[in-house]
Structure 1
Amino acid sequence: MSVKNHFPATENSLFDAGGGLTRKVGAFNDNLMVVEVHFETGTVAARHHHPHEQITYVISGRFEFTVGDETYIVGAGDSLYKQPDIVHGATCLEAGTLLDVFTPHREDFL
């Protein structure tokens, strides 16, 4: 079986997750996935947890993130790490885009 190496932007469309949040899956394999996430101002990503490790890179906008017991205000160029099963969530303070990286990939996003 060959490994897919190229994931053109036109290959996947934005998925409307509701409440002002859309996402688009980029490159992935069994062990890794990148997801572009768009937030409208005021959108809340409810506190949740999952077994995946996650890194979030802020491309644009401003967000209030809660990771475990800590809360952070983040903007373009900032990043966050979320270990497996830690409770986390976000509120979008200024419309923006995040780049989320998961390991392993999120089957529920495919």
Structure 2
Amino acid sequence: MSIQNYFPTSEGKLETVADGLSRKVGAHDDNLMVVEVHFEAGTTAPLHHHRHEQITYVMSGKFEFTVGDQTYVVGPGDSLYKQPDIVHGATCLEAGTLLDVFTPHREDFV
């Protein structure tokens, strides 16, 4: 089995997920994945949950995140941890980009 170690951004595809929301999958294998997520101001990622652990790093913009029963307003340099199956979602307050890391990888993204 050959492992891919390099995932150039020029080869990644920016996929529209919904109005005002797009993503580009970066490096990944069966156990780990990184995803760049772009939001336009006012866009909402509805409350949802999944079996994956997730860390979100705010690259730019301003967001209101709900994680479980807590709400946070976050900006560049902030990060959030979401344990498996916790309900979470976000509203973009100022256009920006998030970097999401999942373990294991999201089969539904590749």
Q: Same fold (TM over 0.5)?
A: yes
- List aligned pairs for 1:43-58, cutoff 5 A: 43-58=43-58
Inter-partner Cα distance in structure 2 for 1:97 and 1:80: 14
Question: What residue is the counterpart of 1:14 in the other structure?
Answer: 14
Deviation at 1:38, TM superposition (A): 0.2
Question: What residue is the counterpart of 1:90 in the other structure?
Answer: 90
| Partner-residue secondary structure (3-state), 2:10 | helix
> C-alpha deviations, 1:26-63, integer Å up to 9, x for none?
00000000000000000000000000000000000000
Matched, 1:3 2:3: yes
- List aligned pairs for 1:4-83, cutoff 5 A: 4-83=4-83
Inter-partner Cα distance in structure 2 for 1:60 and 1:84: 25
Inter-partner Cα distance in structure 2 for 1:39 and 1:2: 34
> C-alpha deviations, 1:72-108, integer Å up to 9, x for none?
0000000000000000000000000000000000000
Question: What residue is the counterpart of 2:102 in the other structure?
Answer: 102
Matched pairs, number: 110
Inter-partner Cα distance in structure 2 for 1:32 and 1:11: 19
Q: Give unmatched runs, 5+ long, in structure 1.
A: none
Inter-partner Cα distance in structure 2 for 1:5 and 1:21: 27
Deviation at 1:19, TM superposition (A): 2.0
